[in-house]
A and B are shown apart, each in its own frame.
Chain A
Amino acid sequence: MPQKVPIRKEEWERRLHEVHVTKNDLNRLIMDYLVIEGYKVSAEEFSQEAGLSPPVDFESIEGRMNIREALQRGDVEDAITRVNDLNPEILDTNPALYFRLQQQKLIEYIRQGRIAEALQFAQEELAPRGQENPEFLSELENTMALLAFESSKSAPESISSLLSPNQRMKTAGEVNAAILESFSQGKESKLVALLKLLCWGESMLEERADFPKVDFGEGPSRH
């Protein structure tokens, strides 16, 4: 195996400095991130400070933000209503997403201890989804298993994690992506895409050289 070329820190930093990225480009990257992730207030303020116009109007960001907040507080009905107001096609053309929302609704019933309603809901609404699309069955089974464990500590990780805030965020992220796609905006912020490209580039270079890598630490998890 050929020897890896060592690149010292000073040399690396010198090369990095030679690549010019304008402040405008950096600002646009940040604006793109704030818009896509739905941080309306931050986007508005940043827009003023950086003198940058947003790629989309703030109302649409607000719409997505409200949906994300509804899901994060566990109000799935409200989220569904808002998604349908924004674009009534989305849930009709995305059975997997609709199932995810109904699954989240069941989880919220269980979290609140409303077991009888949870059972009825599972029987009337979720079981038919499983029949129509067998690929949802395994997720459905996991969710029903929650009922059996009733938030007991002995529940396996894959089942107890359904009750964690992460699950709400995961659902919110999927809904956000679907809305963005329906309005022909990118599903993923360019910053995240650049991070992925960076990781890929590092792994490619790693095969041939030793160089200082970016330390991401335990940064925010992305889905």
Chain B
Amino acid sequence: MVMAIGTPINVKSLRALKNTVIGNPSAKASLARDEAFVRVLVGCLNEPGLYAEREPGTSAEAIRIEAAHVISSLAYGEPNGGLGSLLRANAHQAFLYALSNFTPEESTIFKAAFTRGLRVLAVAFAECVGPSQWGLKPESSQLRHEAKFALETLFKTEVLDVYIPLLEHKSPQIVISIALMLTSTLCTQIYRTKVTEWLPPSERAKETKGKRGWERPNLIDLRTKQGGGWVAKRLSTLLHSKDVKIQEAALGALGSLVQDNSVVALTLARPLPDKDKPGPLSALQTVLGLCKSRTTDVSLAACLCATFMIRSSVPNNHYPVSGDHTASLTVLHILNRVIGNEAESPQTRKKACFILYYFVTDDKDLCMFAYERGSLTKLSQAVDSITPTDKPPIWEEEESEHISSLREAALSAIAALSLWNNDIRREVAENYSLIATIRASLSHPHTGVRFAACQCVRALSRLVAVVRTSLVDSGLGMKVYGVFLNEDEDRRVMFAASSVICNLVNDFSPLRPVMLEQRLIARLVDLTKSDDRGLRLNALWAFKNLLHKSSSAQKQTVMTALGWNTLSSLLVNPDPGLQEQAFHIARHLAESEEDVETLFSELGTEPLFNCIAPALETDNGDILLQATCLLANLANGSSQRQISITSDRRIMASVRSCLVDSNVYVRRPAASCVLQLAKNSRCQKVLRDVGFDSTLRHMCDFGGGMTNGSPGPLSHQMGVEDDVGVKEKAREALALLEYGEFTL
């Protein structure tokens, strides 16, 4: 017990309690276990008279302040301890209530303590729900649901009305608290949109009335006119503060607001139309100026903010190859310098690595842009500088958290840089010292490091040549396989490892037979039953790749383990991602006539068609494609099987509309399917009855009167096929339907 039973609750005892728990994880854990007392503490926030005694010379406000400090400190503890009991005691609601009832008489110290309390809790919720901006944090799945619910309440309009206006408070501490809160909590598009669109209640009333009372003005126009929205505008103003802490907090909040938020990003890139200021800078230019701040924390916060602004202000987040690169060069130059500077603290270099990660992630051109400016070299050197020189490196138990985080950050950035480009991949693969470090990192005690190392291998494994050589020779492939087999591994690391396995089970991989001998199929089957959707998806993906170009015997082995019933239920799974993989698996199972026969007999004709028919009618393009490809493979089956396909009118009607309405990737297998069926004389009548002959005729432009103009997308819309391959198949099939009996 941190506070002895029977101790009166007053300013003195609360102060003593505060000084016991601040900084002390075991004291926090002990306090958190006493949930009844935690509820009393929360009660003290708003009703000190009810829960505490007031000693002479002390005020009710002082009791409330000390209680707030104890609660804030508790929120800094282990999530399963302090945060859990605070969630159950509704501490955040108590803080919000107090904030909504702030009076001018209350001291700034009081208001600052309560704002801080709300901020610490909100940040703890966001960290618990994840993902964190700065690498992997320990997971606490039991609290995640509660924390997510609590986080959502912070974005209701009436709740935003309580704390957003505090961004205009005269106390820097209060402003900083709210900005820091936004930095961490604006982690989804929904939350960003809510905050972007937020207006003070007085302005809200005006905006909902258009010139004609029943018209609702276009909110996007309003946002762009108002400098990206009230919050964006306020944060942009705060950038000009002389207080570096305010600058840093405002940059963080603005960056989080702008991430994946193109409307605001584009607005902030434009100069402000402010009548009072001549030649105003855009918010982006102000941020770029702050990138050069001598205060490193401000400089990096500005780099992150600028990164999100740059990435979000281009369509689909895709960076144009031509155009003005000044902004990107500014950011990249600073990041490279910090990453390469061993005199900087590991925490600072770590941030720079993660910012580089955000800068290049999922953008092939930006990856090349950064690579050409030496980012990969800097990252490799950073990794080398913190890696023990033993060969192979041996991890010290006492390695500091900061060094491990730097390693995680640098490897994450290397993985992101090499994900899209073969030249970059090759350079990493040929860097023997880096490969050795990645290999050793796969067994690092820090979860984030193992995760980042798996991501590096995943990037490398996208190149066939690397799969065949470096990943085998260095032992990297089998080391990842070891991670994959470990049932106690962290879920996220497992996901990353399984992504590598998906690439290593392809037919060209020398590791495929080795893994098959070492429990690969059994492990994949286990993962198909996982609670984690990502793992289930990856397991199916791996099966799909494993089955492609494998022997019938191998296919048999896989399906004996996986189960035909499992496949059958996956073909109608409501999750479109899983359903798509199931169809792809079925498609790969049906690679020969013998295999097609197996598929039909194991699944049953009618059940199989009952899966395929709705898939051919779906709006989901990926499922439609795989279902069509499966059907095309099934059409290579025996004559009997071909007849059964044509007997299903629903499927036939769908195939016919695919030929006309779908994109070329679907039309190709659809045309193959029809051609195969048309070669069977016993199917030709049905094909004609369903109307395939007239469809094919239109596709081949044999309808008459439409011979002028070359085929193009417009002509396709009018029923004429523009893809050469499809058109040839259509012609051949039409000829069979019109003229020929093709005897088997």
Contacts and interface: CB of A to CB of B under 8 A. Distances in A.
A133 B25 CA distance: 11
B398 interface: yes
Interface stretch (A28-36, A89-97, A215-223): A89-97
Interface in A123-141: 124-125, 128, 132-135, 137-138
A138 B396 CA distance: 12
Interface in B5-26: 15, 18-19, 22-26
A92 B22 contact: yes
B244 interface: yes
A77 to B, nearest CB: 8
B236 interface: no
Contacts of B400: 133, 135
Most buried by B among A88, A124, A125: A88
B32 to A, nearest CB: 14
B397 A134 contact: yes
B245 A81 contact: no
Contacts of B18: 84, 88
Interface in A68-113: 77, 80-81, 84, 88-89, 91-95, 97-98, 101
Contact of A184 (B23, B245, B398, B399): B245
A89 B22 CA distance: 8
B626 to A, nearest CB: 49
Interface in A188-214: none
Given A134-B398, A135-B398, A184-B245, A128 B19 contact: no
B245 A88 contact: no
Interface string B321-360: 0000000000000000000000000000000000000000
Contacts of B207: none
Interface in B25-72: 25-26, 69, 72
B526 interface: no
B81 to A, nearest CB: 12
B24 A98 contact: yes
B397 A91 contact: no
Which of B18, B22, B26, B69 has the most CB atoms of chain A within a 10 A radius of its CB?
B22
Q: Which of B24, B76, B401 is the most central at the interface, judged by chain A CB atoms within 10 Å of its CB?
A: B24
Nearest to B66: A88
B73 interface: yes
A184 B19 CA distance: 24
Contacts of B295: 184
A77 B69 CA distance: 18
A86 B398 CA distance: 32
Contacts of B729: none
B23 A92 contact: yes
Contact of B73 (A77, A92, A94, A101): A92
A135 B76 contact: no
Interface in B604-653: none
Interface string A162-176: 000000000000000
B399 A92 contact: no
Given A184-B243, A184-B244, A184-B245, A91 B22 contact: yes
A139 to B, nearest CB: 10
Contacts of B401: 133, 135
A138 B73 contact: no
Nearest to A93: B76
Contacts of B76: 92-93
A91 B27 CA distance: 14
Contact of B26 (A92, A94, A128, A135): A128
Given A88-B73, A184-B244, A184-B245, A135 B399 contact: yes
B667 interface: no
Contact of B24 (A97, A125, A134): A125
A97 B243 CA distance: 25
A132 B28 CA distance: 13
Nearest to A88: B69
Contacts of A88: 18, 22, 69, 72-73
A144 to B, nearest CB: 15
Contact of A128 (B25, B72, B73, B397): B25
Residue picked from A84, A94, A138, most chain B C-beta under 10 Å: A84
A7 to B, nearest CB: 29
Contacts of A93: 76
Contacts of A137: 397-398
B347 to A, nearest CB: 11
B356 to A, nearest CB: 25
A183 B400 CA distance: 26
B156 to A, nearest CB: 28
A79 B22 CA distance: 13
B116 interface: yes
A138 B398 CA distance: 8
A101 B18 CA distance: 16
A132 B400 CA distance: 11
Contacts of B72: 88, 92
B29 to A, nearest CB: 9
A89 B24 contact: no
Contacts of B26: 124-125, 128
A64 to B, nearest CB: 17
* Of listed B22, B23, B73, B244, residue having the most chain A CB within 10 A: B23
Given A98-B24, A128-B26, A84 B19 contact: yes
A91 B23 contact: yes
A95 B19 CA distance: 15
A84 B295 CA distance: 25
B296 to A, nearest CB: 11
A95 B23 contact: yes
Interface string B281-322: 000000000000001000000000000000000000000000
Interface string B248-267: 00000000000000000000
Nearest to A95: B23
B13 to A, nearest CB: 14
Contacts of A128: 25-26
Contacts of A77: 19
A95 B398 CA distance: 15
Nearest to A128: B26
Contacts of A92: 22-23, 72-73, 76
Contacts of B24: 98, 125
Contact of A84 (B22, B245, B398): B22
A183 to B, nearest CB: 8
B217 to A, nearest CB: 41
Nearest to B113: A88
Contacts of B397: 134, 137
A149 B73 CA distance: 37
Contacts of A84: 18-19, 22, 69
Contacts of A95: 23
Contacts of A184: 243-245, 295
A70 B655 CA distance: 84
A132 B22 contact: no
Contacts of A124: 26
A135 B402 CA distance: 10
Contacts of B25: 128, 132
A128 B244 CA distance: 36
A156 to B, nearest CB: 19
Interface in B104-146: 116
Interface in B365-418: 397-401
13 contacts: A84-B22, A88-B22, A89-B116, A91-B23, A92-B22, A92-B72, A124-B26, A128-B26, A133-B401, A135-B399, A135-B401, A137-B397, A184-B244
Interface of A: 77, 80-81, 84, 88-89, 91-95, 97-98, 101, 124-125, 128, 132-135, 137-138, 183-184
Given A91-B22, A138-B398, 17 more contacts: A80-B22, A81-B15, A81-B19, A84-B22, A88-B69, A89-B116, A92-B22, A92-B76, A98-B23, A125-B26, A128-B26, A133-B400, A135-B400, A137-B397, A183-B245, A184-B243, A184-B244
Shortest 5 CB-CB distances between A and B: which pairs? Answer: A91-B23, A98-B23, A135-B400, A184-B245, A92-B76
